[in-house]
Every structure is written in C-alpha cells, then in structure tokens.
Amino acid sequence: AMRLRLEAMEKRDATPTTEKTFEGGIVRDNAEADRIQIIYKERQGPELYGKLKARGFRWSPTAGAWQRYRTQDTRWAVEAITGVKI
C-alpha cells in the first residue's frame, strides 16, 4: 500500500499546474497543492457561494480561491459551475 501511495505522489509531482480561463475568472488545476481552485476576478454573491459550498468547495484566504481536492468529482463540479472542462 505504501508503494502505491508513493507512486501516486510521484505521478502527482510530475503533473504540471495548469490554468484555464472562463468569463469572470480562472480555474487552476494545482498539482503541487493537490487542489482544483476557482479564482473569480470580482467578488461574487451569496447564491454562487451556496453552489460552491454545496459542491464541496471551501474558501481558502491563503490561496484567494475556492478549492477542493483534485478528484474526478471535483472536475465535474468545476465544469457544472464554470463551464470549464479539466
């Protein structure tokens, strides 16, 4: 099991961080932090915050982004919210 975890970590470390823009912001697939981050150019309203929270995103003041662990479910949630396919 430890070997599999090590292989997964090495694969993650070999994956570059990528960014895709959408109208109003950026989606960052942050491999180093093992997070997918949504960064809005302007402050959004409570309706969008509710959608993000309902999909498991949490606000990170440090990153200045809404973020979640990098999983397939996160990729689907990002596409549903922003229209960006990762």
Confidence of residue 80 (pLDDT cuts 50, 70, 90): very high
| Other beta carbons less than 10 A from residue 29's beta carbon | 19
pLDDT, tens digit, 9 for 90 and up, residues 29-62: 998 899 999 999 999 999 999 999 999 999 999 9
Predicted TM-score (pTM) of the model is 0.83
- Strands (DSSP E) contained in the chain are 18-22, 25-30, 35-40, 58-60, 65-69
